[in-house]
Amino acid sequence: MERLRALVYGTVLLLAFGWVLYAGKAILVPVVLGAVIVYVVVGLAHGLARLPAVGATLPMRLRYVVSIAAIGFAGLQFTYLLLANKERAIAMAPQYQQSLLASIQRMAVRFGVETEPTWETLRTELLARIDLQQFLGSLLASVGSIAVTFVVVLLYAVFLGVERGTFESKLANLSHDPARVSRIREVIGAINRRIGSYLALKTLLSVLLAVASYVVMRLFGLEFAGLWAVLIALLNFVPYVGSVLGVVLPVLMTIVQFEDVGVILTVLLALSALQFAIGNFLDPYVMGNSLNLSPFAILISLAIWSELWGVPGAFLAVPITAILTIVFSEFEGTRPIAVLLSRNGQV
């Protein structure tokens, strides 16, 4: 009876917690993203210490300044790319729409579909209703709102960074039991090490992937290569799905822009090769098992957090699941959940 009561209470608590997360996503998402930026800043600052020759001699405050400047510069560049390319993308949208229609017509003729009476109906009913100019405008407007939200996130990050200075004294006063305070400090330290290392290394690999993809796209003269490169870097934080979208979206642009099948296939193969090389060789080599999460658990967490928080939830699924795994491992009742979420059962 006690176990049944505990199960019912746990289920009710979980549902209530999920509702709070969903209802409060407008407030919680910027706060969590601000914490992620703080983790990246701290991780980059510690990473600068590993630079050969000069790393060890750099003062900690200077490393923090360099890390903050790097992230601020990346944000400004992203905003500049949006503003610089928004009007151009909207202006060229009708041309891309005609090119897309022509490409589909050529494919239809090649496969003999044009002779079927249903093809004309399909083309009239569907393609005639596609307003690519309006679609691109709304898409870039939504991305622009993300840029505005990024400013709010930076404010949260700044205040969270200031809070780090007094966190140790607050932590020491959480309890009068030194053993309990020490245990809490160990758990928070484990979270900071795993998440900080993951985010810093993942950021480095995402930048590397974006630069390599940008070079490929520029070699073929793909329009808006800078924006696509930034998008590829961001999508690299989304497990599994991000790698696919990081190839599919630029290739769709290639189909719209070019008529040469050879160019389209070459861009497809080149971007796929980059994603495969970094995702299957460099990523495991650099990241190792730093988070100790099961691939299936990552997939489930991606689905859950995407449903709760949308696109930001997809980006935050992995670090949040890693934090929950560490916290669950500290309690006897939730330790089995942590074992199931882990890669090798060791928590």
pLDDT tens per residue across all 347 residues of the chain: 667 776 777 788 878 888 888 888 888 888 888 888 888 888 788 777 777 777 777 788 888 888 888 887 877 777 777 777 766 666 666 666 666 666 666 665 665 554 444 434 444 544 455 554 554 555 555 555 555 677 788 888 888 888 877 877 887 787 787 888 888 888 888 888 888 888 878 888 898 999 999 999 999 888 888 888 988 998 888 888 888 889 988 988 888 787 777 888 899 999 999 998 887 777 766 565 667 788 888 888 888 988 888 888 888 888 888 888 888 888 777 788 888 888 877 76
- CA–CA gap between residue 157 and residue 329 (Å, rounded): 28
CA dihedral 215, 221, 226, 232 (to 10 degrees): -70
Other Cβ atoms less than 10 A from the Cβ of 113: the count is 16
- Give the pLDDT of residue 95: 66
Q: Please identify which residue in the block is written with the tokens 């009710």.
A: 12
Other Cβ atoms less than 10 A from the Cβ of 41: the count is 25
Angle at 193 between CA 188 and CA 197, to 5 degrees: 145
User: How is residue 199 written in tokens?
Assistant: 């985010």
Angle at 237 between CA 81 and CA 78, to 5 degrees: 10
Element of type H or E holding 125: helix 117-126
Q: Please identify which residue in the block is written with the tokens 């939200």.
A: 149
State the DSSP code for 130.
-
Element of type H or E holding 214: helix 178-219
pTM for this model (two decimals): 0.77
**The residue type at 122:** L
Cβ contact 312:29 at 8 Å = yes
- CA–CA gap between residue 114 and residue 104 (Å, rounded): 10
- CA–CA gap between residue 17 and residue 306 (Å, rounded): 16
| Residues 6+ away with beta carbon under 8 Å from 205 | 236, 278, 282, 283, 286, 287
- CA–CA gap between residue 113 and residue 209 (Å, rounded): 39
Cβ contact 71:40 at 8 Å = yes
| Residues 6+ away with beta carbon under 8 Å from 69 | none
Burial call 300-333: b when 16+ CB within 10 Å, e when fewer: ebbebbbebbeebbbbbbbbbbbbbbbebbeeee
Element of type H or E holding 195: helix 178-219
CA dihedral 228, 30, 302, 318 (to 10 degrees): 90
- CA–CA gap between residue 77 and residue 70 (Å, rounded): 11
- CA–CA gap between residue 186 and residue 281 (Å, rounded): 32
End-to-end Cα separation, the chain, in angstroms: 29
User: How is residue 68 written in tokens?
Assistant: 């903050």
User: How is residue 86 written in tokens?
Assistant: 């928004």
